[in-house]
Amino acid sequence: MTRRGGRDMREGMRGTANGRATTALALALLAGLAAAPAEAEPRGPVRAAADIAPVHSLVAMVMRDAGAPALIVPPGASPHGYALRPSQARALQEAEIVFRIGPGLTPWLEEALEDLAGDAVSITLAEVPGISHLPIRDDAMFEAKAAPHVHGKDHAEEQGEDHGEGKDDHAGHGDHEDHDDHDGHEDHDGRGDHADHADAPDHDGHDAHGDRDDHAGHDHAPGANDPHMWLNPDNAVLWLDVIEAALSEADPDRADLYAANADAARARIAAATRAAEAGLAPVHGRPYAVFHDAYAHFEARFDMPALGALALSDGAKPGARHLAALRDKLVEAGARCVFSEPQFPPRMVSAITEGTGIRHADLDPLGAELAPGPALYPALIEAMAEAMAGCLKD
């Protein structure tokens, strides 16, 4: 009994020692796990921002399933002069990358970028090599000639062959004279919190040159280029390369996703371009006029030259003499249509079409009536072609 009891006691002591060892081992393992470096967490979505809805759409196409970019200038607002709202200023402050056409379109954005997004990568799409550049037209009565050949126009099908329906060489996309003067080219002093970046619809001085639409205060340096470059879809295809590269550099873990999305975007834009070409083919050469000179890139890409514009810029006030001369020119040419824009009242267009049999329709170069997002850009190209063909048909 005593011996058995002693053996039991010794076995109990050994069990206790084994328990202590197990506990010590577990604690050591836990300590080791705590000390081991943790695997890096995948980064969150890239904080990207874009100036206008068409550019925002291109970025959204490449970012699909990886986040969504912020839009700075909402649909329906003029990008040439805009007052940032607090939410838009905050989006700039938080942005890692800002995609924009450039100062020719949004001169007021330069100071905002410096003040609010000084650490962000700013990508100016107007400076991307190979895109089409068209000089700004300096007269709202355009020369009556065919739109120049735009390199890339004959390559809509090649876009699919060259990069999974995408990129081709687009250098020298035409030399069509152009174009729009873009209000907001005043200095926009007194930004403060950007409340003073007013849309400036009146732009004092527009009547300083009588009936000629010289849009005082919006003067460009000699040789300035038309900034409505997104209306040539070949430019958009080249921009997809730059957007993909910028996002992949900021977020290399998702580089494969961005590449696949860019390929899909090229295919979608190529399809929209082919649809636009097919829709416009029956109305090539039919004369028309536009509300303001914002369409030279579209005219050149699809060989659809306009006879003239009511105004050179969307803030200019055309004089009575110019409107009368344009009306005479349209009647003499047998024009079918004058195009306005959704954000402007049609009464000015009615003043030159009334009693002539010339039709009136809207063109929407910014996608003001489309929902922002990845579908907007191809829908914009298709909708512009459909509107133009619909008004110019027999």
Domain boundaries, the chain: 48-190+197-392
Instruction: Give the residue from 358, 326, 316 showing the smallest Cα distance to 206.
Output: 316
Question: How would you label 77-98 residue by residue, b for 16+ Cβ within 10 Å and e otherwise?
Answer: bbbbbbbbeeebbebbbebbbb
Q: What is the pLDDT of residue 357?
A: 94
Q: How far apart are CA 85 and CA 99, in angstroms?
A: 18
- The answer to whether residue 40 scores a pLDDT higher than 80 is no
- Read off the tokens for 96: 């890692």
Instruction: Give the residue from 375, 380, 379 showing the smallest Cα distance to 364.
Output: 380
Tens of pLDDT, residue by residue over 187-236, are 333 333 333 333 333 333 333 333 333 333 344 444 589 999 999 999 99
Q: Which CATH number fits domain 48-190+197-392: 3.40.50.970, 3.40.50.410, 3.40.640.10, 3.40.50.1980?
A: 3.40.50.1980
Least confident of 178-187, 238-247, 257-266: 178-187
**CA-based radius of gyration for the chain:** 30
- In a 3-state reduction of DSSP, which class is residue 99? strand
- The answer to whether residue 13 scores a pLDDT higher than 80 is no
Cβ pair 183, 80 in contact under 8 A: yes
Q: How far apart are CA 232 and CA 201, in angstroms?
A: 27
Q: How far apart are the first and last CA of the chain?
A: 119
Which spans in the chain are helix H? 2-35, 53-63, 86-94, 109-116, 158-162, 233-250, 255-280, 296-302, 320-333, 347-353, 376-392
- Read off the tokens for 251: 């977020």
Q: What is the pLDDT of residue 151?
A: 45
- Read off the tokens for 354: 């009334």
Omega before 179 within 30 of 0, i.e. cis: yes
pTM of the model: 0.73
Torsion of CA 302, 376, 218, 216, to 10 degrees: 80
Q: How far apart are CA 186 and CA 119, in angstroms?
A: 26
Tens of pLDDT, residue by residue over 67-92, are 999 999 998 899 988 999 999 999 99
DSSP 189: -
- Region class of 286: left (phi > 0), else alpha (psi between -120 and 50), else beta: beta
Q: How far apart are CA 217 and CA 246, in angstroms?
A: 35
Q: What is the pLDDT of residue 227?
A: 96
Q: What is the pLDDT of residue 349?
A: 86
